[in-house]
Amino acid sequence: MRIDIITVLPELLDSPFSASILKRAIDKGLVEVHTHNLRDYTTDNYKTVDDYQFGGGAGMVMMIEPIDKCITRLKSERDYDEVIYMTPDGETLNQKTANQLSLKENIIILCGHYKGVDQRVRDQFITREISIGDYVLSGGELGAAVLCDAVIRLIPGVLNNETSALTDSFQDNLLAPPVYTRPSEYKGWKVPDILLSGNFPKIEKWREEQAYQRTKERRPDLLEE
């Protein structure tokens, strides 16, 4: 998989990909992440990427020309399955969307700033608009990093058995059950006996019940889906 991220702040996207699972996925050649500085696609001396909005109103709007130039150049080099725009008014990211995107070959992610991008960018280039939640970030970069993390860990071969995504919360519309590790007793606080029993069918059943209980208490909406 190849992910191209278009941003005015490429430095914000350095660290998420330089540690742990995402770094390993890149090192293993399972994913390539390329960031593109939108200012490299400007034509004026000030490298302007935004301007006042027509009709008046507070806040700047990202201009269409540098974005068009960047997307057009990328598209001349390969085909893209999706051109995603990170925006608080997009569809809310969930595990289903992450699963879908993890099967794509090439995607572009455009990070918005200020009041957002000129609507014509959305009309002409964007195939999918994604929000990471009902709150406003100062830009789309952290949202893009969240999206990439959720997607990349699902690419076959990225996770090993110990970190398998199959038992994650949401993977089957249930939250994950509680987990414990050594010691089996700490300050008198005990691990449930069942987990120490060695009876794996019973343990599996307990985990399913716990996952269901937890989902019912915390996220009953998931059970209705």
Within residues 51-80, the interface with ligand ADE by CB under 6 A covers none
Distance of alpha carbon 137 from alpha carbon 182, whole angstroms: 39
Per rule CB under 6 A, is residue 7 in the interface with ligand ADE?
no
- Is residue 80 within 8 Å of residue 74, measured between CB atoms? yes
On whether 135 is known to bind a ligand per the annotation, the reply is yes
Out of 86, 107, 126, 165, point to the residue binding ligand ADE (CB under 6 A): 86
Q: If you count them, how many residues does the chain have? A: 225
Cβ 92 to ligand ADE shortest distance, Å: 9
Residue nearest to ligand ADE as judged by C-beta position: 143
- Is residue 66 within 8 Å of residue 42, measured between CB atoms? yes
On whether 112 is known to bind a ligand per the annotation, the reply is yes
Within residues 157-216, the interface with ligand ADE by CB under 6 A covers none
- Is residue 59 within 8 Å of residue 118, measured between CB atoms? no
* Sole window of 10-18, 40-48, 56-64, 126-134 interacting with ligand ADE (rule: CB under 6 A): 126-134
Within residues 89-118, the interface with ligand ADE by CB under 6 A covers 112
Query: Which of residues 7 and 106 has its CB atom nearest to ligand ADE in the complex?
Result: 7
Give the CA radius of gyration of the chain.
22
Within residues 133-152, the interface with ligand ADE by CB under 6 A covers 133, 135-137, 140, 143
On whether 136 is known to bind a ligand per the annotation, the reply is yes
Relative to beta strand 189-190, strand 185-186 is antiparallel
Query: Which of residues 133 and 192 has its CB atom nearest to ligand ADE in the complex?
Result: 133
- Is residue 32 within 8 Å of residue 77, measured between CB atoms? no
- Is residue 87 within 8 Å of residue 142, measured between CB atoms? no
DSSP-derived 3-state class of residue 90: strand
Q: What residue ranges bind ligand ADE (CB under 6 A)? A: 86-88, 112, 131-133, 135-137, 140, 143
